[in-house]
Amino acid sequence: MGDKVFMQGNEAFAEAAIRSGCKFFFGYPITPSSEIPEYYAKKAPSEGLTFIQAETEVSAFNMVAGVAATGKRGMTATSGPGFSLGCEAMSYMSAAGLPSVIVDCMRPGPADGEILGSQGDYNQLTKGGGHGDYNTIVLAPYSVQEYADFAPLAFDLAEKYRNPVVVASDGTIAKMMENVEFPEKIAPKGRSDWACDGINGRDHYNDITTCGDGPEQWEKYNLNLQSKYTKIRENEQRWEEIQTDDADILIVAFGSLSRVCLTAMRIARENGIKVGIIRPITLWPFPVKAFEKFADKDVKYFVTELNAGQMVNDVKLAVNDNKKVEFYGRLGGITPTPVELYKKLCELYK
Amino acid sequence: MSIVYKRPEVFTDEYKKYCGGCGHGIINRLIGEIMEEENLVDKAVLIWPIGCSVYADKYFKTDSICALHGRAPAVGTGVKRSCPEDLVVVYQGDGDMVSEGMAEIMHAGIRGEKFTVVFVNNSIYGMTGGQMAPTTLMDQVTTTTPYGRKDENTGHPVNMAEIISGLNGCYYSERVTVNSPANIRKTKAAIKKAFKYQMEGKGLSFVEVLSPCPTGWKVKPLQALKWIDDVVTKQYPLGVFKDCGQEEK
């Protein structure tokens, strides 16, 4: 690890991605993600990077698919409207087993919407978004440091499972500046045995396709995908617990909003209410294991999101409807204050 | 005894799922022959479209990628930028390119991507059952222009080889056809030249091949070949529209 630098979230992610050996970036400008393509464009000559400003997000995602198909690290970054366009390629890359990293700097929808922090893409990111039965790993950072840390992690997970990985930041994490430490640069890895980078001496040729060859073949293909998703669910659930041991009320929040919850928790504890936090880090696979240890405890849940209530449904599934689960959300790009959350919590559980 | 005709060794044993009289089989074969003759099999990445050639990844013992509908030039961009020494061939039909993927092909040309595009134009959607394409001729009857294509509703056919030749990023653009042995030889020469330019690191090389579709056109194979001469080439004239290699000489 090097020295700490004071840096904006998006730029920190871009720097960390470059250090992770991601030499290819394809993207289309959209607020609040544009600093990532700008950083790549700026660093391209000195770092030997390929940067293309694509004509559409549709193309950008498919260019990422092309690089991924050759076994090299490539990425794009966008926000909700662009991610919607990219969903066709997300379905494709998932089906084709192409390891890629996509950043979604969430902003409030639907449609054009607004450009501040939001978590309104939760369902789109975790339930598919594109067509067919597929899943992508989704990492939700809550700080600039974690945002940067997720760059190498995202590529490692993408290659481990040959699956797209989404880093779901938002307008707040993307734009804020904090101290951040970067990992050392890693050397690019060698050729991948499965990739389409030309035979060039390999002892076999490779074929990447998502076209089914009859229903029996395609069901088998789908079942293989599903068993991969089962493995990911077993192995990759990530979450953070904060002061949960003695808690009567557990706040469930992710990303930028979980920072606000830290202060809300402190206020609550100062006022004699034992509050803890479960912060999902992987939105998919959703960390259901985090809730299992509280199954026999007398706890209530307070889920808060910057949307109309999306993750709350996964929390309800995780607790099997055996616990009280209340929800509070803000829309339009508004982030609630700690006092607002504390008051809401008191109102719901007085 | 000398061998005058043999199956390219780059072909797999897979049965080709093309209709009788279709031009795809000929064009696939030409690509295979050229790759063998020019020792390019080892370097090739073939990118296939959604359309009648959707299973062509199964026909070649090369690296192959089947892209999403219309997106082959974007996937090709990623592949060629990643592997600039490879022979990257983006193979597209007219529905795939001119309708669904018009943005992708135009911007590949605008950027001057250094790959070869083989554009198979049969002026109809073959795989989905004979619907109108942007390349469908005026008054041509398809399942979605049952009374013939009329300009007030659908506009006019699109001449891609000419349009692409107008982009600075395009190095070479030619239109050929495969309706006679002489024309098949010219098609082979055009694709060979395109591959040569690509391996020399030139800009986009684009070969449009007018291809018969007896099934979609609802005519016999021989009538389809004649229709190319009598009707199709009137809208889509054969010829070289740009050849920077010639100009440089």
pLDDT above 70: residue B38 = yes
- Is residue A212 a part of any domain in this protein? no
A81 half-sphere exposure, CB direction, 13 A CA radius: 15
Burial of A304 (0-12, 13-18, 19+ CB in 10 A): buried
The residue among A185, A215, A234 that closes a domain is A234
A219 to chain B, closest Cα gap in Å: 18
- Is residue A208 a part of any domain in this protein? no
Cα angle A178, A183, A186 (rounded to 5 degrees) comes to 145
pLDDT above 90: residue A321 = no
Is there a single domain that holds both residue A139 and residue A184?
yes
**What is the H or E stretch that residue A207 is in?**
strand A207-208
Is there a single domain that holds both residue A136 and residue A9?
yes
pLDDT above 60: residue A1 = no
B69: nearest Cα among B27, B105, B113 = B105
Query: Looking at this predicted complex, what is its ipTM?
Result: 0.97
Query: In whole angstroms, what is the distance from residue B181 CA to residue B188 CA?
Result: 11
- Is residue A217 a part of any domain in this protein? no
A195 to chain B, closest Cα gap in Å: 8
The residue among A234, A253, A283 that closes a domain is A234
Query: What one-character-per-residue DSSP string does B23-84 give?
Result: SHHHHHHHHHHHHHHTT-GGGEEEEE-SSTTTTGGGTBSSEEEE--TT-HHHHHHHHHHH-T
Q: Which of A54, A58, A199 sits opposite B42 (nearest CB)?
A: A199
The reply to whether residue A56 touches residue B103, judged by beta carbons under 8 angstroms, is yes
CATH of the domain at A66: 3.40.50.970
Is there a single domain that holds both residue A146 and residue A271?
no
Which of B75, B100, B113, B127 is the best mutation test for A, with the most CBs of A within 10 A?
B75
pLDDT of residue B248: 72
Token pair for A304 = 């808060």
Query: In whole angstroms, what is the distance from residue B92 CA to residue B209 CA?
Result: 10
Name the H helices within chain A: 9-19, 35-47, 57-69, 80-96, 122-126, 144-161, 171-175, 215-235, 255-270, 289-292, 311-318, 338-348
Cα angle A105, A107, A113 (rounded to 5 degrees) comes to 145
Query: What one-character-per-residue DSSP string does A238-276 give?
Result: -EEEES-TT-SEEEE--HHHHHHHHHHHHHHHHTT--EE
The reply to whether residue A198 touches residue B44, judged by beta carbons under 8 angstroms, is yes
CA distances from A201 to A14, A156, A175, B4 (A): 34, 26, 46, 30
Query: In whole angstroms, what is the distance from residue A172 CA to residue A256 CA?
Result: 6
Summarize the confidence of residues A332-348 as an average pLDDT: 97
Query: In whole angstroms, what is the distance from residue B121 CA to residue B235 CA?
Result: 12
- Is residue A216 a part of any domain in this protein? no
- Domain boundary assignment for chain B: 32-248
pLDDT above 90: residue A94 = yes
Is there a single domain that holds both residue A126 and residue A264?
no
Summarize the confidence of residues B122-127 as an average pLDDT: 96
Is there a single domain that holds both residue A160 and residue A32?
yes
Query: In whole angstroms, what is the distance from residue B248 CA to residue B244 CA?
Result: 6
A22 to chain B: nearest residue by CA?
B82
pLDDT of residue A276: 98
- Is residue A331 a part of any domain in this protein? yes
Range of the domain at A33: 5-199+225-234
- The per-residue pLDDT for range A109-136, each reduced to its tens digit, is 999 999 999 999 999 999 989 999 999 9
Residue A197 touches partner B, C-beta closer than 8 Å:
yes
What are the beta bridge partners of residue A24?
A50, A74
So what's the architecture of B32-248 in CATH? 3-Layer(aba) Sandwich (3.40)
A53 to chain B: nearest residue by CA?
B111
On the question of a cis peptide bond just before residue A285, with omega within 30 degrees of 0, the verdict is yes
Percent of all residues in chain B with a pLDDT value above 90, rounded to a whole number: 96
- Are A80 and A113 in contact, with CB atoms under 8 Å apart? yes
What is the pLDDT confidence band of residue A350, given thresholds at 50, 70 and 90? confident
What is the pLDDT confidence band of residue A265, given thresholds at 50, 70 and 90? very high
Query: In whole angstroms, what is the distance from residue B1 CA to residue A252 CA?
Result: 80
- pTM listed for this prediction: 0.98
Residue B14 touches partner A, C-beta closer than 8 Å:
no
- Is residue A207 a part of any domain in this protein? no
- Is residue A305 a part of any domain in this protein? yes
Is there a single domain that holds both residue A183 and residue A290?
no
- The per-residue pLDDT for range B186-225, each reduced to its tens digit, is 999 999 999 999 999 999 999 999 999 999 999 999 999 9
- Are B123 and B94 in contact, with CB atoms under 8 Å apart? yes
B87 to chain A: nearest residue by CA?
A198
Query: What one-character-per-residue DSSP string does A18-37 give?
Result: HHTT--EEEE---TTTTHHH
Please give the DSSP secondary-structure letter assigned to residue A334: P
Residue B43 touches partner A, C-beta closer than 8 Å:
yes
Is there a single domain that holds both residue A230 and residue A270?
no
Residue carrying structure tokens 């982030």: A335
The region of weakest confidence among A90-94, A334-338, B4-8 is B4-8
pLDDT of residue A291: 97
In chain A, the number of structural domains is 2
- Is residue A102 a part of any domain in this protein? yes
Residue B160 touches partner A, C-beta closer than 8 Å:
no
- The per-residue pLDDT for range A16-31, each reduced to its tens digit, is 999 999 999 999 999 9
- The per-residue pLDDT for range B132-188, each reduced to its tens digit, is 999 999 999 999 999 999 999 999 999 999 999 999 999 999 999 999 999 999 999
pLDDT above 90: residue A9 = yes
The reply to whether residue A70 touches residue B83, judged by beta carbons under 8 angstroms, is yes
Burial of A235 (0-12, 13-18, 19+ CB in 10 A): exposed
Summarize the confidence of residues B232-249 as an average pLDDT: 93
Is there a single domain that holds both residue A132 and residue A88?
yes
A107: nearest Cα among A34, A28, A37, A172 = A172
A140: nearest Cα among A303, A282, A304 = A282
pLDDT of residue A128: 87
- Are B132 and B149 in contact, with CB atoms under 8 Å apart? yes
